[in-house]
Each structure stands twice: as C-alpha cells, then as structure tokens.
Structure 1
Amino acid sequence: MKNITLLIVALISLNTATAQIRVGKAVLPYEENFGDTDLKLNGAGMRAMLWIDLYAGGLYLQKKSKDPRAILDADETMAIKLNIVSGFVTQKKMIKAVRDGFNKATFGNTKSLDERINKFIKFFNEPIVKNDIFDIVYIKDKGVHCFKNGKKLGEIEGRDFKYALFKIWLGDEPASDDIKNGMLGLQ
C-alpha cells in the first residue's frame, strides 16, 4: 500500500510539474480555458528594462502560430497573461505604458478607440504589486475581458479594440522585442 501511495504522489507531482513553464521568476500554465475554449501556451517572454525583469507575458492560442499578423487578424478566442515580477511595475507606470502602447499600435490615431481605451485603463485603478496576474482575454463575438488575480475587472467590445490591444505586444513596435519573440515562440 505504501508503494502505491508513493507512486500516486509521484505521478501527481510529475503531472503538476509539466503543466507549467518558468519564465524568469514567473510561472505560467501551459493551458488555460476562457469562454469555454481551451487555449495552449503559444510562447512566453520577459519584459525587462535595464536588466530588471518587470513582467512575464504569455500568449495563449487555440493553435500555435509564429505569425503576428495572423494572430492579430484572427477572430478567435485568445489570451495574454501578464505576471508581474517586480515592484517597479506600478499602477501609474502601467497606465502610461498602456497609453503609449495604444498610441504606437494605432500610429497616434486613437480617436475611434479613446472611450474604450479609457475604460480599459480604469481596470488598473487599484495598486499593482509584485505577483499580480492580469489575464487579457479576447472571446470571439464578445470582446476583451480583463481579469486581475482571477477577478473579472470588466469587458470591452470590439474586434478593433482587441487588434490594437494585442498589437501592443505583437505589433511592429512592441512593448519589447523579447516579449514579442517569446510570445511567438521564436526564442
């Protein structure tokens, strides 16, 4: 009986160990389920500045892809997970980074998205601390749903909003080339 118990514990530990990936100090799951859709980790990378890891980012898709344009254009459920690993990521800095990201993603033409961008930025109205996890999920035909530590913050309609939002990490001028390449599974 003791051997069977040890075998069961070993199998459970092995299964748990292979269900996640370590990215720097962050641990991201290989699979997620949002909107009743199973998503698999496409890739993950670290956003760093001046040799300081800020957050790990993972891209979750239904089918793996290395093509950022196809991912941005796709009208299917997908998600980006951001795992904050540094106290240098604050509410104020996150809001500025998101605004800057939308400006780059839209070449400064945010007019049609301004109301929704402002709504999205309100999702960061509470302090951001180390180990916070944000899930930014596009659910087909429903829009972008945002979660912080598993708690739903809200949702924003529009595939055009999803396109601009995901372009912050996957566009031609991403938040970080390392995180873009990691999310695309190129590293």
Structure 2
Amino acid sequence: MKKLLLVAVAFMGIYTADAQIVVEDVTVEKSVTVDGKELMLNGAGLREKLWIDLYVGGLYTTTKSSDGKAIVNADEFMAITLDIVSKLVTQDKMISSVEEGFQASTSKAERKALQPKIDKFIGFFNKPIVSGNEFQLSYVPGKGTMVHKNGALLGTIEGMDFKKALFGIWLGDKPADDDLKDGLLGK
C-alpha cells in the first residue's frame, strides 16, 4: 500500500510540475481557457528595458507556432498575458508604451482607422497599475479582443484589424522587445 501511495504522490508531483513554468518568479500556466476554448502555452518571456524587469508575458494559442506573422494574422482563439513585476510600470507608462507599440505595429493610415479602438483600449488603463497585476488580452473569432485585469473583464474591442495591431506590438516586425518576442514564440 505504501508503494502505491508513493507512486501516486510521485505521479501527482510530475503532473503538477508539468502544469506550469516559472519566469522571474512568475508562474505561467501551461494553458488558459478563453470563452470556453482551452489554449496551450506557446511560449513565455520577460520584458526588460534598460536591464529593468517590467513584466512577464505569455502567449497562448490553439497550436504551437514560431511564426509571429502567422499568429498575428490568424483569425483563431489566442491570448497574451502580461504579469507586471515592477513598480515602475505605472498607469501613465503603460499608456505611453501601448501608444508606442501601436505606432510600431501599424502604418499611419492603419492607426488613423483604428484610433477609436485604440482610444477605447487605452481607456481600460484608467485605474492604477501595480506590481502583481495581470492583464489578459484574449482574441475570440467573431467576438473581438477581450481585455481582463486580474480576472475582471474590462471590455471587448471588435475586429480582426484591432487584434492584428495589438498582437503585432509583441509579435510584429518591430516588437516591443526582441527577446520577449522570441520567448513568446518558443524560441
């Protein structure tokens, strides 16, 4: 009986260890469920700026891929999580970073067309941001991009055009952080 119990405990330990990964003391789950659809961790990494750790990002998809352009252009369920690890990430700095990200991920004409959606997205950052906050940006085909903070839905922005611009911030040709992009793509 003791052997059976030890085997069961050992098996549970292996299963639990495989259920998540840790990046800079942040537990990144191996899967998330978005609108009833289970997504698997594609990759994770750390966003740094001037050697300062800012947040841990995780990318969740239905199938693993190392092709950022394909993921950005896919009309499929996916999510990005951002776990804030620095007190330097404030509401104002998040808004500024998001604006810079959209400038890098879109053309001037695309930004002009998307500006009302970008403004709505920026409006979701109307409350203080502190270390330990988690944002989840989830795309659901036919529904749009749902934005959650610490599990609470802040709102949804319709359109594949917005999803492409948003996910392009991290996975596009001019990503916010090359190392984070590589991590998200499992490289």
TM category, shorter:
over 0.9
**Per-residue deviation, 1:27:** 1.2
Residue 168 of structure 1 corresponds to which residue in structure 2?
Answer: 169
Report the TM-score when normalising by structure 2: 0.93
Report the TM-score when normalising by structure 1: 0.93
Change (3 A) 1:112 1:29: same
Q: Does 2:106 match 1:106?
A: yes
Residue 58 of structure 1 corresponds to which residue in structure 2?
Answer: 58
**Per-residue deviation, 1:64:** 0.4
What 5-or-longer segments of structure 2 have no aligned partner?
A: none
Q: Distance between the aligned counterparts of 1:89 and 1:82, measured in 2? A: 11
Q: Distance between the aligned counterparts of 1:7 and 1:151, measured in 2? A: 39
Aligned residues: 186
**Per-residue deviation, 1:74:** 0.5
Q: Distance between the aligned counterparts of 1:6 and 1:124, measured in 2? A: 48
AA aligned to 1:160 is D
**Per-residue deviation, 1:131:** 1.1
Q: Does 2:78 match 1:78?
A: yes
Q: Secondary structure at the match of 1:47?
A: strand
AA aligned to 1:71 is I
Identity of aligned residues (%): 52
What 5-or-longer segments of structure 1 have no aligned partner?
A: none
**Per-residue deviation, 1:15:** 2.4
Q: Distance between the aligned counterparts of 2:53 and 2:149, measured in 1? A: 20
Root-mean-square deviation over aligned CA pairs? 1.5
AA aligned to 1:141 is G
**Per-residue deviation, 1:108:** 3.3
Matches within 5 A, 1:32-71: 32-71=32-71
